[in-house]
Chains A and B, each alone.
Chain A
């Protein structure tokens, strides 16, 4: 059975839980996407943008020092080398091109870490479409450099001062904008979350990661890997990476969520700690209290700081196709150091969670072959890492090595 089905469900997860006004927008999006996916001009233009502009294919790098250190064969899929510094550009270019083909004059987006905002601002500028990005006020403080980058690129950054002032509220605000401006505006959602067809569209545009990795690992090793490891916030880099290997059941998938201050406290580990709910358009795992109110998430990595997760990951969890683990702020900083010191690669704090998890995996997977998806680079996080001592309530997570 193809996933998602016609109603946008991956098993029991997904769907379209939205205010009536948006039915119109989502139907239009669904129809346009279905037509454009088969359009030769679209396919050629998208491919050429990915290759000529974004810098694809990205290398699959054999990480010798890290492999020696861990006693596993570790390959790194270098999404951090892409233009704008993260995998987000794959989806932003795809959707911005879709917006252009649909004749939309204005693109809106939400952003947490600012990577999706920067990628969207970049793609919109390139294609000559006006761009406005909603960003939580707290994230604007945490990721000042990205706010500046978006503004340099000509995008308008709109601070969101409601709720937790982070990604989930930026997302609410983008939906409110879209409900108001239904016909001329394209909502460029940044992760594989939200109502159908977004989880599918975003996944499709990100599967380039997994497709390339598959080809590259076969070339390098002559066989498929034992494990794929990626960080999961909303889950777009992970689903794009995993999906092309879906039927290769010997390849194990591990998604690494943010445990924040630890699983007992504030976290962003929707799959590990959450329960089934309906949030921002789809049925999926979500962090909520016993009254069905959505909790505020916390992670040192702004891109993981989200209480929900894409429905396809919930589906993978339910059928045990993937395993989901959680890594704390403190451990993520350890992962950040590890990759920086061993490989000379400074990772973004989001994939630093996945880097740390490799250490745990190594205990039971000696000699195995692993591909890590390095979804972004760490330039944006230098301020956070520098201040990381004060980020933790008990003074844990001190960053001194």
Chain B
């Protein structure tokens, strides 16, 4: 991919992000932060490439450390989001009314 195609994806994604995030209900802003945190750890892709490659020992170990950090975030981020979202309940109709 050349630079301009990548830039196009980026700019379009910014617009998508803008509209999608405005549609998020304020009640879910904390889960939003937790899940964006989890998905921004897609940076693990770069970490995996670094740790999978041959050629530089330093690069490999930096990559592996990054894999650990990003994994904490991925698993922790999605798990904590799931935990929070499971707590949001609608009114259970009536026990005593």
Bound together: no
Residues of B whose CB lies within 8 Å of any CB of A are: none
Residues of A whose CB lies within 8 Å of any CB of B are: none
